[in-house]
Chains A and B, each alone.
Chain A
Amino acid sequence: MTAHDETRDPGNARDPDNARDPDNARDPDNARDPENARDPENARDPENARDPENARDPDNARDPGNTRDPGNTRDPENARDPDNARDPENTRDPDNARDPENGLSAENARNGESTRSVGKARSADSTRSEGTARSVKNDGPGNDAPEYDGPEYDAPEYDGMDALMAALLDAPLPAPARQDAVFMAARGAAVADLAVLREQLALIGDALAAPDGTEDAAPTGRHGAAHPGKRPEPDAGPGRDATGRPSAAGSGAPSAAQAPLRSVPGPGKRSDPGDAPEPAVGPGPGDDARNRTAGHPPARHPGTGRPGTAGGSRGPRRPRRRPLKVALGALAAAAAATVVVGMGWLVTQPGGASDASAGKAAAADSKEADSQAGGGVAFGSPRHLACARLVAEGTVLAVVPVPGATGTERVTLRASRVYKGEGEGEGEGQGASDGEGEITFLRDTAGDPPLHPGDLVMIGLPLEGAHPDMVIVGETDIAPERARITASLPESRTLTCG
């Protein structure tokens, strides 16, 4: 206690008669106030009855003479601090009077060695500042109650550290800890998780710190995009820190701008983010620089944001990839549409098929088209009939190749029935006449199965030309057409072709 020149109560007005401590029992030797500035007349405890032996502070530092508990009745065995690390000279309680029977915290021995402890061990090895997570958390060094961290972290504590704390601090482990397999495993897992956390923070931080807030997490590639005229060196190397943390493009603003910088906080390793294994997409202003960068690993060059950020300005937002995506999508859609339309067109075309299979298909198609469209220009439909020069069926008499015209043959047909055209029964009637006549027409042989004499065919000849627009072979296929034609004839007569 520092003696002050001015005393608190120089005139001892507070207790003039020293009634409080007449015999000065409290501090007989006036250790507290050696100069007795507080109580010059030692009126408080003149006889020092309070601490006659001055036991409280034997050495009188505060109580160097250990007068407070000279008999050390509080902790006679000095169980609290057997090795007396706290008070090596044991000036505080030499006879351990405070806890003679060592009844206090028997299991929570305060000892100087590192031992496993249920709660928190105060050890000389672990500094107070290290302490324990829990003790610090509780803001109280005196909380010795063990806490349960949770199912994942119930590894024991050593030196006041659980496995996670040991990993966090990367502290040297005491021998008992190293021998504890569970603890070591938990610590290893924690170390691994911390590495992941570190890596992810770098990725996330770099990504979010990008100067451009475009959907591309290209921190610095933006710069390149913003200056299409400047095609920098496609070398991501120079900008890198030795530490691996991507430095700003301190080597020069443009150097970072590798055009295809789709640098994203994706798979790039922290140590070498420049090699993020992405395909070099160069959706930049579509110039020849794309070729240059095509083969290069895209760089993550976060630092180049500098030019864009220094003055608070942001680079222009350039969603380069969006137009490309849109274009590709439109192209795909157009192609698909074309295919669909084309197929539809093909389906509705009645002509072109002159053999059995084709005829079958055509018949099916035309049937379908007919049923859907309700009478487009499918064979056998009223419109078709209206526009046909001849629709007839009969037996093939002869098939003769046309000299001079390869792939063409002349077919002679003996018509058994003519539905429309020359040979049709004159007058009205149901249209079908049984007039026997010969019909000759030309037919391309390419791609179609050949006709033979004796084949039963039904043909339709358009208004112009000698080639039928429909040839159906075989009774099986003819029969349904026959029916259709028969049904369509009346209506077809009412229609005008055109």
Chain B
Amino acid sequence: MLRGRTRRGRGSYVADDDPLDAAQERRVRAVLALGGVPQGDLPDGVQQVRLRLLERAASGREAPRDVSAWAAVVASNLAMDWHRAKRRQERLGERLAALRPTELPSGEETSLLSLAVARGLDELPDAQRQVVVLRFYADLPVRSIAEQLGVPEGTVKSRLHTAVRALRARLHEDEVV
């Protein structure tokens, strides 16, 4: 497999190690989950991201400058594809509600807030949800997002603006903020 090959001269990027370190994998999982990929499919999603990274290396292309950012974008695209492929998209609100323990010291308000945010995310169109996750979870700058997604910066800003406006409206409506 490709994993056996070591590519030198490409910075610290080596293909015989896991292309994703633990922290990156964690972020990938979270981005997938936030994009609605069901719990059970998260490992597959992570593997797909790994695979793409390895394929990229194998094709001779340079490793992404920012592997984390690249991986986050790939994961977010995967999540959208998941949904589009009519695989079951998990509603974050439901899953989060199932996760929550019943008692939470001083966390009742936070629980409500988290649930409200999760439900708000569920209601966003995929494209808006994607940019929200990339911007506010993966912390990618607007420029990077635009670059990675191959869309104009203005489009990213527009999506962000619309999505955040909707989320804010919901949170204020639910009176959790």
Contact = CB atoms under 8 A, between A and B. Distances in A.
Nearest to A167: B164
B59 interface: no
B51 interface: no
B43 A164 contact: no
A205 B157 contact: no
Nearest to B117: A200
Given A197-B167, A250-B21, A279 B29 contact: no
Interface residues of A, number: 63
A314 B172 contact: no
A313 interface: yes
A201 B118 CA distance: 8
Given A277-B106, A278-B105, A208 B157 contact: no
B33 A205 contact: yes
Contacts of A249: 22
Contacts, number: 180
A153 B155 CA distance: 20
Nearest to A220: B26
Contacts of A278: 104-105
Nearest to A214: B99
Given A168-B164, A201-B137, A247-B22, A196 B177 contact: yes
B22 A204 contact: no
Contact of A206 (B30, B133, B142): B30
B126 interface: no
A249 B22 CA distance: 7
Interface string A266-301: 110000000001110000000000000000000000
Interface string A375-406: 00000000000000000000000000000000
A130 interface: yes
Given A208-B92, A312-B47, A247 B114 contact: no
Contacts of A309: 25, 29, 42-43, 46
A133 B158 contact: yes
B154 A248 contact: no
Interface string A190-232: 1001101110111111111111010111000000000000000
A306 interface: yes
Contacts of B157: 130-131, 133, 136, 165, 168-169
Contact of B106 (A202, A203, A250, A267): A267
Contacts of B100: 217, 264-266
Given A207-B96, A207-B99, A279-B105, 4 more contacts: A152-B169, A168-B164, A206-B30, A267-B107
19 contacts: A130-B154, A131-B157, A135-B154, A136-B155, A136-B157, A168-B157, A169-B157, A200-B113, A201-B132, A204-B118, A208-B99, A213-B39, A215-B98, A217-B100, A262-B101, A266-B100, A266-B114, A306-B25, A309-B25
Interface of B: 21-23, 25-27, 29-34, 39-40, 42-44, 46-47, 92, 95-96, 98-101, 104-107, 110-111, 113-114, 117-118, 121, 132-133, 136-137, 142, 152-155, 157-158, 160-162, 164-165, 167-169, 171-172, 177
